[in-house]
Structure 1
Amino acid sequence: MDLLLNPNTNATPETESGTKPAFNTEFADDVKAGFAGSPKTLSSKYFYDGAGSKLFQQIMELPEYYPTRTEFSILKKQKAEIINFFNPSDFFHLVELGSGDGLKTKILLRQLLQAKARFEYIPVDISGDAINQLQSALSSELPDLKTVGFTGDYFKALHWLKRNKPGRKVVLFLGSNIGNFEDNGDLKFLQEIRKYLSPQDKILVGFDLQKDPRVIRQAYDDASGVTAAFNLNLLKRMNRELGANFEPEQFEHFTDYDPIAGVVKSYLVSKRNQTVTFSYLNHTVSFKAWEPIHTENSHKYSVDMIKELGRKSGFETEQLFTDEQHYFADVLFRVV
């Protein structure tokens, strides 16, 4: 349920007017492949169409959902210390992967400008609209900021930067998106990023920490049902974009946290035997009563796990910034 702007998707969100988006071949292929397996699966990257994004905004305001506000608090309270670790007197490129609306990043940007840091901000996002809106907002709010946006795949952006923007880099990967990858996906992701960085470079990554299992579970299954609606919107999206005839009321959202594995797993569970037709795909899928669709993993980390992940990825843990309750951490790694 963390806001993952997946670098490898070409998903087209529903327009504000509610008109049907262009047919998304990748979405269709992933649905067919995911529903052919056992258990059935559907990537969490498809949560974020227009309706899903609005629901996620509501989730972030829920009292149970601590990650966003906790990281925001960390950045706000420790912004001066954080930017000091960037060595702001020496020019660097501040590269953000999955910049979105840049709300949290603006805390660091303002602090860097106040400190008269020598840097250029390079937001990277798969959404051209997101980049355009962010740059428009920055030009108004922070007119002295030097910025160059990049629309597309994270690794294509890093490749372009390595060739066209030589010099020191500090990479941001905020939120708890690192925890949304499948098993060992976090390691592979950081190892791939490491290939594009040099020994003087750094990366700041957000991690959701292990804590009271009840606190974690409630964050992914709120009492008001917004998270359930967010998950069930996947069915509505397939109806809209793939011509499916899901009856969302015949599915229920279920989530649980395994404190041994340190992972939240979320599902949509069929309440009865049913067959769903995808008219745009000439395809049908059958569900047995109480059969689940696995929609998301969200991994939670201990400090030792974070340090080991960094070491295996070619980084050394330089500093860990956390909150008073130790719910969340923004961790600065340096290349070794």
Structure 2
Amino acid sequence: MDKATEIPVNSFAADVLKGLTDEKKHLSSKYFYDDNGSRIFMEIMKMPEYYPTGCEFEILSQQSGNILNELPFNERFNIVEFGSGDGVKTKQLLSTFMEKGADFTYVPIDISQEAIDALEKNITSVLPNIKMKPKTGDYFKVLETLSKDTTPNLFLFLGGNIGNYLRQDALGLLRKFNAGMKKGDMLLMGMDLKKNPHIIQKAYDDAQGITKAFNMNLLSRINNELDADIKLDQFDFYSNYSPKTGEVNSYLVSLKQQHFHSMVLDTTFHFEKDELIWTELSQKYSFEDIDILANEAGFTVTKNFMDCKYYFTDSLWVK
């Protein structure tokens, strides 16, 4: 349940068509974030049950100096952030690094120029003297240009976003990151930890129904953007955490045998009673899981920085 960049409607249409005609129906969580979805996610982040955002904010507010001390760089370096969002948490790290005299250039990467413009304004309003070189485009194309430069890099992949990928997809992504990094480059990655199952369950299935509204908004998007006639009250939301696998899986549930039609897709979609639409994976990790994932992707874990409750870690890896 982590903020992603909005995707063009043509991709949305193609993925909805594929996802809702597959044998096991699914909708990608990357489509949660239209304007309304982004507003609902802001409500989620304010919920007392939803701990990941606050935990990572605490780590970066209180331990950025310790993170800096673990970096092996004795010269100028880049801080390169994948999917930087609004930069609220990153500002804590950047501010501390500047206070301690670190010589770095901040390089946020996003596919959206609008997102980059907003981030640049947000960061420079608080840190007017920061050296900043925003990049708009695909992560890996930007990585290619950075790999040709001798300047060492600290890469940031915060927010627990890695947990939204199936394991083989996560491993594939991290190996692509590794391939674009130089020997000695570092990666600081937000990862949600396995913990009391009740805590995790409440974070992803709150009593107020905000997370349900967040998921149901996917159906509203299909109605609004693909000219469909989904009856929202004929679907429900279900989320389940498995302590054994560390997976939180979220679903929309068809409450009756039904169908709806999309004029844009020129397709009628059929549902059985109690049929599921899988919407999101949120993977939780043990420290052993983190070591194994890092090693398989070609990294070594240097240190895990944690919040005071040990709910979340920003894990520092070296290539």
* Length-normalised TM-score, structure 1: 0.92
Alpha-carbon displacement from aligned partner over 1:162-217 (angstroms, at most 9, x marks no partner): 24x44101100001100000232111111110001111200000110000111101
Alpha-carbon displacement from aligned partner over 1:105-128 (angstroms, at most 9, x marks no partner): 000111111111111000011221
Match of 1:214 among 175, 198, 201: 198
Q: Give the 3-state SS of the residue equivalent to 2:128 in structure 1.
A: coil
Q: Which moved more, 1:86-95 or 1:178-187?
A: 86-95
- The gaps in structure 2 that reach 5 residues or longer are none
1:282 corresponds in structure 2 to 266
Output the CA distance in 2 between the equivalents of 1:143 and 1:89: 24
Match of 2:109 among 124, 128, 133: 124
Equivalences for 1:1-336 in 2 at 5 Å? 1-5=1-5, 11-12=7-8, 24-87=9-72, 89-163=74-148, 165-335=149-319
- The gaps in structure 1 that reach 5 residues or longer are 13-23
1:20 corresponds in structure 2 to none
- After TM superposition, the runs of 4+ consecutive aligned structure 1 residues lying more than 3 A away are none
Output the CA distance in 1 between the equivalents of 2:95 and 2:73: 13
Mapped contact 1:88–1:112 kept (Cα < 8 A)? no
Which amino acid counterpart does residue 178 of structure 1 have in structure 2?
I
Output the CA distance in 1 between the equivalents of 2:272 and 2:158: 39
Mapped contact 2:147–2:182 kept (Cα < 8 A)? no
Which amino acid counterpart does residue 82 of structure 1 have in structure 2?
I
Shift of 1:226: 0.5
Shift of 1:62: 0.1
* Length-normalised TM-score, structure 2: 0.97
Mapped contact 1:170–1:203 kept (Cα < 8 A)? yes
Q: Identical aligned pairs, as a percentage?
A: 43
Shift of 1:43: 0.7
Q: 1:87 to 1:110 in 2, by over 3 A?
A: farther
How many residues are treated as equivalent by the alignment? 319
Output the CA distance in 2 between the equivalents of 1:52 and 1:160: 34
Output the CA distance in 1 between the equivalents of 2:98 and 2:73: 10
Shift of 1:87: 4.1
Q: 1:183 to 1:307 in 2, by over 3 A?
A: closer
Q: 1:4 to 1:302 in 2, by over 3 A?
A: farther
Output the CA distance in 2 between the equivalents of 1:171 and 1:56: 25
Output the CA distance in 2 between the equivalents of 1:51 and 1:136: 23
Mapped contact 2:87–2:122 kept (Cα < 8 A)? no
Q: 1:232 to 1:285 in 2, by over 3 A?
A: same
Q: Give the 3-state SS of the residue equivalent to 1:331 in structure 2.
A: strand
Alpha-carbon displacement from aligned partner over 1:136-182 (angstroms, at most 9, x marks no partner): 2222221110111112221122123224x441011000011000002
Output the CA distance in 2 between the equivalents of 1:152 and 1:291: 38
Mapped contact 1:88–1:118 kept (Cα < 8 A)? no
